[in-house]
Amino acid sequence: MSLEILAPCGGYEALTAAVRCGANAVYLGTKELNARRGAHNFDFEELKKACRYCHQRGVKVYVTVNTLVFDNEFTTAYETVKRSLECGADAFIVQDLGLAKMIRSCFPQARLHASTQCSVTTPDGFKRLEELGFYRAVIPREMSLDEIREIRNATSMELEMFVHGALCMCVSGQCYLSAMLGGRSGNRGLCAQPCRLAFSADGKGGCDLSLKDLSLIEKVKEIESAGVISLKIEGRMKRPEYVAAAVTACKNAINNEYSQRDKEVLKSVFARSGFTDGYFTGKRNDMFGTRLKEDVTAANSVLKELARLYDKETPLVPVNIGFTCKTGEKLSLTVSTNEKSVTVTGGIPEKALNKPLTEEGLKERLSKLGGTPYYAENVTVELDEGLIAPASAINALRREAVEKLEETQEPQVTALPFTPVKARIKSGLPYYTARFESAEQIPVNHPFRRIFLPIGTPAELLLRHGAGVEIPRGLFGKEEELKKRLTELKKAGVTEAMCSDLGTYKTAEELGFKVYGGYGLNITNSETAQMFASPVLSFELTLEQAAEINAEDTGIIAYGRLPLMLTRNCPVKNRIGCAKCKKQGVLTDRKGYKFPVKCSEFPCVEILNSVSLVMSDRISEIKTDFIHFYFTDESRTEIENIINLYKCTKKPEGEYTRGLYFRGVR
């Protein structure tokens, strides 16, 4: 399969730009349930028009339903998928595993592409996606070339990869910063990008969470050699000229024609202090940057030039033309693409009195396909000598054939019924579970039914405290190391594990652990919750939404500094270095709030909220089966006081947050 150029389309003009500049596929969202709700997007009439336009030109259309879904949104999700299929959608890009389950069971012809928001970072994770029915998966931006090759060897799914566009500091699907600070959820398509504001690692007001834009277009051949088949361009919020520039650059790179001029145009149309190759080489050089004044004004010099790339129809589809002109027979014209063939007939030719038709003249006339998506790749003519037919008749046959070629059939959609899960009714107080940063924090007489400690904890300490192991998120390239460690712990007698991502859940399960679902699985509905054991639900739910999740033994985090970001590139290390940090790093925002940065022996670091979530005086309002305590830097004495606070249902003192449990997210 040749490389696919996959272009972003926030509106119809961007779609036109993408197709005319040479995209092989486009991705776009409807008005509901897509991760760029701020774009214009497409209603169903526009989507039908877009699918018809693209399919006439051999271009595929992938519809994004790549947000987390609440229980009360499944009817909308069902209708969105059904109507998108009726419009001609070729595939759906999906984040929510419960939604993917519904699509697979109700629409057997639907093709599923796993969004990068699924937060899958290991070979076992990609294997699990394939088991769940995904046909393609989008590789995380944080992967190196070697790690991509490791994934390629683990799965037969198609692999898609971002090669140009914005680069988030956080691993996709694991960012809650926008939601916690302003109620606008990145997992729901409304990220406010607070990371582009001042978050300083040295207290001097720098933007230490803002990365440059990614550009790997120069490395297309390496990407292809790693087994990636789709080159994805980020930018559904960007202008059509940006789409035109990026698609053209990708096309040139595939054809070995990528130039310095292409790079300059890309930088002019949109950049943040230039570009970075991100994590691809494993070096992570010069990745941080912001949008400067000169970045903004640079676009003025290239917009007109880029607009000219897509202002006229581009003939993209080769056709074979066969024309027959025989004595006593009707004129016959057949026009064929690789996928379709049409034949039209006209009047009977007459004997020529002076200037009979010639093969050369007919080929020239039949090749005039200007203003259409087609160009004549091969023209054959069967012509008896001495015949004549009006030029108008031949032109009319050509136009009729093209019109028939452009006709599209209504897709035949199989839609099996879907019955939304009913909300459950629960009574009684929740039991307690907890995770600790170290065994030293664990009180002697604690009230927790289950406790978990980090994977680096010695086996004897885990066994002494009856603890399970918490497996970290974001294990890029570390799966074999994880398996070795888990095997050692299993032999020692450790039996339980908490996993916050799809890959480690599969790994631990296959190694014989009793596995519990962590918050990083982003469980926001009953369909997803039923896929995991005793899951900790997403803290982007309200208490009411969490209470209505109909699945066995669910819980929420009710105490702790919530992890707001998981990032492979440490902002503190980048700014001041590990020696000065001494594992005590913090980020200070423009209002003076401090967000701890927690190191790990594994690839990623976590950025915690500036204040702790506390629900001690609101326990009676929590209707899940259990509540989970997320202890990080508290001392044992502080933890004992916190436990007592919850036992007595007292209101906390000092600064704290209720998170999103009452205000929810948009």
Q: pLDDT tens digits for 320-354?
A: 999 999 999 999 999 999 889 999 999 999 999 88
Residue 314 in this model has a pLDDT that exceeds 70 = yes
> Which residues pair with residue 211 across a beta bridge?
288
Rounded distance between C-alpha atoms, residue 195 and residue 567, angstroms: 12
The two tokens of residue 571 are: 């902002």
The two tokens of residue 506 are: 């599969």
Edge-to-edge strand list for the sheet holding 496-499: 514-517, 496-499, 468-471, 448-454, 431-435, 626-630, 555-560, 613-614
pLDDT at 1: 58
Rounded distance between C-alpha atoms, residue 6 and residue 2, angstroms: 12
pLDDT at 288: 95
Render pLDDT for 483-509 as a digit per residue (tens, 0 to 9): 999 999 999 999 999 999 999 999 999
The number of CA neighbours under 13 Å toward the Cβ of 595 is: 27
Cβ(613)–Cβ(416) below 8 Å: no
The two tokens of residue 303 are: 């917009």
Q: What's the average model confidence in pLDDT over 435-453? A: 97
Cβ(456)–Cβ(439) below 8 Å: no
> Which residues pair with residue 207 across a beta bridge?
199
pTM, two decimals, is 0.95
Give the CA angle between residues 590, 630, 438 to the nearest 5°: 105
Q: How many CB atoms lie within 10 A of CB 611?
A: 15
In the three-class reduction of DSSP (H, G, I as helix; E, B as strand; rest coil), residue 321 is classed as strand
Rounded distance between C-alpha atoms, residue 214 and residue 233, angstroms: 10
At 295, the pLDDT band (50, 70, 90 cuts) reads confident
How high is the mean pLDDT of the chain? Answer: 95
**Running DSSP on this structure, what letter comes out for residue 171?**
P
**Running DSSP on this structure, what letter comes out for residue 519?**
G
